[in-house]
Amino acid sequence: MLIKEQIHAAAREVGFSLCGVAKCRSLDVSRTRFEGWLASGCGDGLDYLSHNIDKRFDPAQLVEGAKTVIICALNYRNAITNGYSAEARCKIASYACTTDYHRTIKAMLREVFARLRQSNPTLTGRAFVDSAPLAEKAWAVEAGLGWIGRQSLLITREYGSTVLLGALVVCDEADSYDSPYEGDGCGECRRCVEACPNRAIGSERMIDPRRCISRLTIEREAVIPDNCGLHGWVFGCEECQNVCPYNHSKPIATLPAIAPTFDPRTMTEVDWQAMSDDEFATRLGHTPLSRSGRERIVEAIQK
């Protein structure tokens, strides 16, 4: 059997900002909301989201014998977060200015797993960072880390919404589990809704990705409409996070592995357009920007 406090300690020692432990079950309420979102047409163009819904909300369908979901959160706030001038034309989401977080968090999760196996040698499980149909935000709420804000992001009391998530699904029970987060810290606040340049934030904490700048600039298959303003963003968008009160006066991330490796504030439109594919791969291939590629960024600049 796993000891919850040992799980929390292992996550802290590895460098995670937050950790929660939840018992495997089917998250039926979250599934119903997700299916309603798909039915509304908001998932058009994101066909993969309609696949494996059973696995997304019931980890036992994803990992045979699953008993416990361990959700870890990593604060990524840095100097670039909410650090652009109003005139900036080549804005990149601050989490994308570091080594690809998928690699970083996956390695950290594996280290947590290795530490747990020291006292549980037969423990089995899998680590996930956007690498499988697992509803990580819903499980973060279930594990007590925070609530889902109006902008559909997880909001934590300690770090706001500038956190990246990873999950360990393991095949053993814990001696106790963290309580699901109760309540809604957003209240009547609608700052994120009003700040969204393209009005992509709808009712019931649902996002229309057909309008969302983040999706339009990151997903290669997304078509950027000529009449869709990107407001200076060329990879991702943080407008809804920048105005969130829970993101004000929060600590800067201290883990070296999540520190920025370049500063887009020093780069101009000409710099991006003049960069060759080889130079892009050499300088930025280790970052999440490799997902969209140089041509996609240049296309966004020209919109």
- Residue 201 · residue 151 · CB < 8 Å: yes
Question: Two tokens at 218?
Answer: 């990151």
CA angle, residues 55, 56, 61, in degrees to nearest 5: 20
Could you give the 3-state DSSP secondary structure of residue 285? coil
- Residue 236 · residue 248 · CB < 8 Å: no
Q: How far is it, in rounded angstroms, from Cα 59 to Cα 89? A: 42
Q: How far is it, in rounded angstroms, from Cα 141 to Cα 20? A: 9
Alpha helix ranges (H) inside 40-187: 53-57, 101-119, 136-142
Establish whether 130 is a catalytic residue: yes
Options 28, 47, 100, 130, the catalytic residue: 130
- Residue 134 · residue 93 · CB < 8 Å: no
Residues belonging to the active site: 130
